[in-house]
Chains A and B, each alone.
Chain A
Amino acid sequence: MSSIEIQNVSKYFQRKAPGTTATVTALEEVNLSVGHGEFLTLVGPSGCGKSTLLDILAGLSEPDAGQVLVDGEAISGPGLERSVVFQQYALFPWKTAAANVEVGLESLARGRRDLGRKQRRERAVEYLRLVGLEGFEDRYPSELSGGMRQRVAIARALAHEPKVLLMDEPFAALDAQTREQLQELLLQIWKRTGTTIIFITHGIEEAIYLGQRVAVMSGRPGRIQRIISIDLEHRDTEDDVRSTTEFGRYRHEIWNLLHASADSIGAKAGQPELALAGAAA
């Protein structure tokens, strides 16, 4: 339940080729504000800087210009009030599901008396139940399916009650059915906790289905191209909201934006077939 202000954020990378170093502009003057408890999805062509932006929000890397404010305060480094869910789960393979969920709690418990070993375990079990993994507490990640691993990762990200949840293509590696289950789960959790969520995806439908707003990025240099508010009237009544005409309109609009920017990138890079993997799917 925090607001996020991204102000004039730019990020450059030096790419060392033999002999020369080229500067890649990953992000240029990105501005974006996300409201308290908002669910914002972020789409854009591959390589446009989405992960770079998320890294900066997480505090894992610093912008070369501009700043990020969370509740009005500039961030410096990672913090427990901002949690990250990665596409590749990033679970600690030598820890059980419950022990993975407890990692953030252990950091939270530093300098606090009310979060002993027993309470942490209870909290971990509670959050595993929240993501539908009751009874799997003592399983190692290698003993879980991809969908279950991502559920553990979500529980781990939520257990210390962050104000912001940052997700980088969290469901991209999952099969369609599991992905839909987890989308549903995420919406439930969001409604229940009111956590501010920034969710990166390659899937246009996923972006429309989950987001209150969809931020569309364009690449080279990475910029926010357009922000589209999603207003699906029949969202709660319709069984299959993805097949309604309003949903189709949003999909078409975003598809056009992405293709326009992909064409321009293709023209620049001299390769018209530049990957827009999954975006059209």
Chain B
Amino acid sequence: MSTIHVPAAESSKAKITGEATQLAKPPRNAHSNGLRKILDGSGAIILFLVVWEVIPQLVLAPSARVFLPPLHEVLGALWQLVASGELWVHAQASLGRSIAGFALAILTGVPAGLVIAWYPQVKNFLNPLLEVFRNTAALALLPVFTLLLGIGETSKISIVVFAAFFPVLLNTILGAQSVDPLLIRAARTLGLTNVEIFAKVILPSALPTIFTGIRMAGTASVLVLIAAEMIGAKAGLGYLITNSQASFLIPQMYAAILTVSILGFAVNAGLVALERRFSRWNQQ
């Protein structure tokens, strides 16, 4: 850590201990209701961060502290990664791959799922195979992807597609099958053609279930990608983690890990928000 970053780290430390004092004092007036809400929602996280900051400094021997640096050192490293633009390079690489793979999985998984659900024979025929694929951990296939497609972008995007495809496909089938048959009957009496029934009845009523699949796929695609990048890549957050470790830049390694969990969290929150927006009718 260069000394330039110490003030920033110090100030963030001060901020966190300040919040810790608030945590100990239960809010008394109506004014602090907002604060209480924040504490209710993220109290455990704040507590965790405090423990992370305090334990290495107070409990660990300096030799061990090297392997588990306090939070402010990690944040300092994170800041340095941001300032140098290095973090963005790696995040961009990871985001590009996961968005490409994720999008491909949705674009193929949703239509395939709708078609499979429409033809029960196809579904019955394919179902056992789909179950086998779904229960095959994508990471177990990583060596296969590497063998067949090398360690370039293609193999990484492919494994993201693989990991994201099955949750999307299976949930689309599930959603399309659970459409209330009465709605289809109503649609037919209202003059809808088969194609229209697909687009205007089956797809919308399957949408909440499809979104569950998309959310699962989002989590899976980040997870698998990071692992793939850890094994063989020249850029990406997974690469940043292993590379930092290999270069003994321990705070930077934690900074990269922190970024991955923030990214995963953001992906999930974004998808939940999207889901809310598309299923406003389904709120109750």
Contact = CB atoms under 8 A, between A and B. Distances in A.
A141 B284 CA distance: 11
Interface in A173-196: none
A140 B204 CA distance: 14
Interface stretch (B27-35, B141-149, B183-191, B259-267): B183-191
Which of B182, B186, B191 gathers the greatest number of chain A CB atoms within 10 Å? B186
Interface of B is mostly: helix
B190 A156 contact: yes
Interface in A53-91: 58-60, 77-80, 82-84, 86, 88, 90
Nearest to B188: A78
B281 A84 contact: no
Interface string A77-118: 111101110101010111100000001100110000000000
Contact of B186 (A90, A140, A142, A160): A90
B283 A79 contact: no
B185, B190, B191, most chain A CB atoms within 10 A: B190
A88 B182 contact: yes
A280 B187 CA distance: 34
B190 A107 contact: yes
A94 B205 contact: yes
Given A60-B185, A86-B182, 17 more contacts: A59-B188, A59-B189, A77-B188, A80-B190, A80-B191, A83-B189, A86-B186, A90-B185, A90-B186, A94-B281, A94-B282, A95-B281, A103-B192, A104-B190, A140-B280, A141-B281, A142-B282
Which 6 residue pairs are nearest across A and B when measured between Cβ atoms? A107-B191, A90-B186, A104-B190, A140-B281, A94-B281, A84-B189
17 contacts: A58-B189, A59-B189, A60-B189, A78-B189, A88-B182, A90-B185, A92-B186, A92-B204, A92-B205, A94-B205, A94-B279, A103-B187, A103-B190, A140-B280, A142-B283, A156-B190, A160-B190
